[in-house]
Structure 1
């Protein structure tokens, strides 16, 4: 996905449910049936995959990654981010 392609979803207070695939061949953000699926090349150790997901999601939304707050799912494949 291109930078800012999901910019229309970047509304303060919006929540994004994400399904994560770590150790993927490439980093990609895709919208399938209303659900966000993000694949990252990072390994799921010490929060590396979560940090990579936050960075990719922020880029797709066209916002700073510091505006995304992880609400739940720090160690799970299903994560929920809120835009502050």
Structure 2
């Protein structure tokens, strides 16, 4: 499954807000420094979809707030 995710770093309440089945807004506590926000995003998605972190890959947007992420079952 591919997801289009808009990341909002430096939030007090982390979580996912789904706009549709393939689009969501990820509220992340971590700042966008040294990949910390990306790591937290992968952890958040892994908990939500109940899959190992290895099954989640950021396909595009590593340094952008808009990302395309692949989640494998």
Q: Tell me the TM-score normalized by structure 1.
A: 0.78
Structure 2 residue ranges without an equivalent (≥5): none
- How many residue pairs were aligned? 70
Q: CA RMSD in A?
A: 0.9
Name the residue aligned to 1:22.
9
Structure 1 residue ranges without an equivalent (≥5): 1-13
1:83 shift after superposition: 2.3
1:30 shift after superposition: 1.2
Structure 1's consecutive aligned runs of 4 or more residues displaced over 3 angstroms after TM superposition are none
Q: Secondary structure at the match of 1:46?
A: coil
Q: Tell me the TM-score normalized by structure 2.
A: 0.89
For 1:83 and 1:44, locate their aligned partners in 2 and report how far apart those are by CA, in whole Å. Answer: 21
Name the residue aligned to 1:65.
53
Q: Secondary structure at the match of 1:24?
A: coil
